[in-house]
Structure 1
Amino acid sequence: MPQILTFLGKGGSGRTTVAIAAAKQQANLGRRVLFVSQDPTPATGILLGVPLADTPQSIGANLEVVSISATVEIERGWEEVKQVEARYLRSPILRNVYGQELAILPGMDSAIALNALRKYDASGKYDVIVYDGSGDMTTLSMAGMPDNLGWYLRRFIAVVEESDLWKTISPIMQPTMAAILTVAWTGESVMSQPIQEATTALAQVQAIISNPQRVVGYLVTNDDLAAVATAKYFWGSAQQSGLTIGGVIINQGDANNAITAEFDPLAVTIVPTRIGTDWQPLVDALPDFSQAVTVPKPMTIDIPNREVRLYLPGFDKTQVKLTQSGPEVTIEAGDRRRNILLPPPLKGSSVTGAKFQAGYLIISF
């Protein structure tokens, strides 16, 4: 199972340069590395010394590079969608819509990138995947997408099934849908089999993202105050998305005590400026990316003490809002919202208290 590394930081902080150096470092260690770029401009290709393509190409020992093209991926993905539809409908309705016709709507590129990463992760060809995305809130939205989509599936299907309208039409819908679908109708759920498959797939992707041994992000900044503040904001927002932040890399600057204190307890690494085509000093200065498992986890659930602890650095109690509606607890911090599905021992329990302590939101049940 490969490790996926990604880097977050303000534009101009050297995020892509650090990502390329990380890919080179891991390849030098003998690991099979795929560097994945989502930059449609030629800039990343110039840094790598080779134009990027939408299929992986080797640029050195143990190192392959690829660019995610939204238009290419949506064509490939659309064919998969039509295959899934054909599994369940006797007369598919999407067969006359072609991937080449589809426009890329806002937000679709994140879903496309996540699906491409999922495929490369499952291919078994790589030990490390370095993802060089936008490195901002768009990347964090992508990380939180499986959890958010899972919530929509759980809640809206439950709302439909509990409605008087569904209870009225269900006796008629069951034989009707059984005639349309290629699978036998089982239970009372709306297309329960495909929905269950989608829910399971989303849960699996979310479990990978929340596992620091599989996916970890690093903050990249310089000593500019705006860059430091942006990196710290991304740190707290990453926790809300379930993405573990493993450390801080200061590029083109110095780490004074004030900057180090801003990111405590994360390790802070200073890397030199790359000069020309000599990457080695930068590669040698990078941290050990396998140590991310020692940093605070975004969320821990303590069933014996009936507590949920969320690590939200960069936020204080005035910026955090907690609500409980039905079986789930919702946490808002900054512009991120996270829904927590409680485990069976706590399911149905009401929140009895909450406090903000040393960067942790501690919720009691």
Structure 2
Amino acid sequence: MALILTFLGKSASGCSTVAIATAKKLAASGSRVLLVSQDSTPSFDALLNMPAQSFPTEIEPNFELVNLKSSQLLSEIWTEFKDLEAKYLKFPTFKSIYGQELGILPGMDEALALNALRKYQEGGTYDVIIYDGNNTFHTLRMFGIPGILNWYLERFRQIFTESDLGKTLVPLIQPLISTILNTSWTLDDLDKVSSDNILQEGNVALKDSNRVAAYLITTEDKAAIATAKYFWGGAYQVGLSVKGVIINQSSELSVGKYFDFGQLESFSLPKKVGNNWKPLIEALPDFLDKSSTPLSINIDTATSQIKIFLPGFEKKQVKLTQSVSELTIEAGDQRRKIYLPNSLTGKVVKSAKFRNNYLVVSL
């Protein structure tokens, strides 16, 4: 299974430059690398002195580059859907609608990119896949899709199964589902949907820093530092592990003086001069290091205490709400759902305090 790497930082902090240097470093060491860009501007073209294609193209030995085009990805998925429909249904409904006729709605870019990454990862062609998105906000939203969709599925599944509309529609859609999946299906089966599916697998993958990991990128600019810390907490809100911080265009002497990223290891990168990538490549961390990252959640049932790793935020920036069986943590622009074990279900939150980048909740 390929390792997926991504970089989080303020615009113009050098994420694309670091992504390219990382690809060069790993490819030179023997890893088969795919650098995935979703940047519609010609920035990669300028950095690599060659156009980025919409299909994987070899740049150097072991190093391929692809630029994702949302309109093309949508057309490919729509074609696959119509092929399945024609295969399983006697009278296909969407055969006269073509992917080229469909526009890209807000949010589609992230979903299409995540699906593309999944396909590349499962293809077995690459050891490392490096993702460089349009910006970090979109990247975090993309990696948060499995958790968010699982959340929506749970909410709407309950509404659907309990509503008169759901009970009315089931007799109509059951034959269709049975035909497509070649299996029997009832309303009660909806309760099993989220226990073993691609969304659940996505959540599991995100929690394993040896399968999906991120590094923060910043410069010596105060706004870039503050933004990197903000994205640090945002990453853990969507379940994405951060393994280190790369300080771009800096000197080693300035790292300890100006930066405070807690237990994160910092790496100083010199400024790139011309087309000379060697100094950057030599200064980069060992991205294949198997060291663990802090646990995002630690639930101690004996003390009725939950520790949530939430770096980069202050208590006043965090909103905590509770239902009978779950907690919702709202910080930055993300919401995170924490499901309580049976022994803590029904207990009321007594206190919530910040300690060493953890939100400690006592029930």
Same fold by TM-score, threshold 0.5 exceeded? yes
Unaligned runs of 5+ in 2: none
Give the 3 Å change call, closer, same or farther, for CA 259–53 of structure 1 in structure 2: same
Counting only pairs closer than 5 Å after superposition, residues 138-287 of structure 1 correspond to structure 2 as 138-163=138-163, 165-166=164-165, 170=167, 173-181=169-177, 182=179, 183=182, 185-189=184-188, 192=190, 196=193, 200-254=197-251, 255-261=254-260, 263-287=261-285
- Cα shift at 1:275: 1.2
**What is the TM-score when the length of structure 1 is the normalising length?**
0.90
Give the 3 Å change call, closer, same or farther, for CA 266–197 of structure 1 in structure 2: closer
Of residues 311, 318, 321, the one that matches 1:320 is 318
- One-letter amino acid matched to 1:51: P
8 Å CA contact 2:170–2:186 kept in 1: the answer is: no
Give the 3 Å change call, closer, same or farther, for CA 114–330 of structure 1 in structure 2: same
- Cα shift at 1:204: 0.7
Q: Structure 1: how far apart are the matches of 2:298 and 2:78?
A: 37
Residue equivalent to 2:73:
73
8 Å CA contact 1:7–1:135 kept in 2: the answer is: no
- One-letter amino acid matched to 1:355: K
Q: Structure 2: how far apart are the matches of 1:42 and 1:331?
A: 38
**What is the TM-score when the length of structure 2 is the normalising length?**
0.90
Give the 3 Å change call, closer, same or farther, for CA 161–215 of structure 1 in structure 2: same
Q: Structure 2: how far apart are the matches of 1:8 and 1:89?
A: 44
Counting only pairs closer than 5 Å after superposition, residues 345-360 of structure 1 correspond to structure 2 as 345-346=342-343, 348-353=345-350, 354-360=352-358
CA offsets, 1:208-231, max 9 Å, x none? 122101111111111011111111
| Identical aligned residues as a percent | 45
Kindly indicate whether residue 36 of structure 2 is the aligned counterpart of residue 41 of structure 1.
Answer: no
Secondary structure of 1:208's partner?
helix
Secondary structure of 2:31's partner?
coil
CA offsets, 1:241-286, max 9 Å, x none? 111111111111243434332x111111101111111111110000
Q: Which moved more, 1:276-285 or 1:154-163?
A: 154-163
Give the 3 Å change call, closer, same or farther, for CA 313–174 of structure 1 in structure 2: closer
- Cα shift at 1:121: 0.5
Unaligned runs of 5+ in 1: none
Q: Structure 1: how far apart are the matches of 2:193 and 2:51?
A: 41
Aligned CA RMSD, in angstroms, stands at 2.4
8 Å CA contact 1:2–1:128 kept in 2: the answer is: yes
Q: Which moved more, 1:348-357 or 1:281-290?
A: 348-357
- Cα shift at 1:27: 0.7
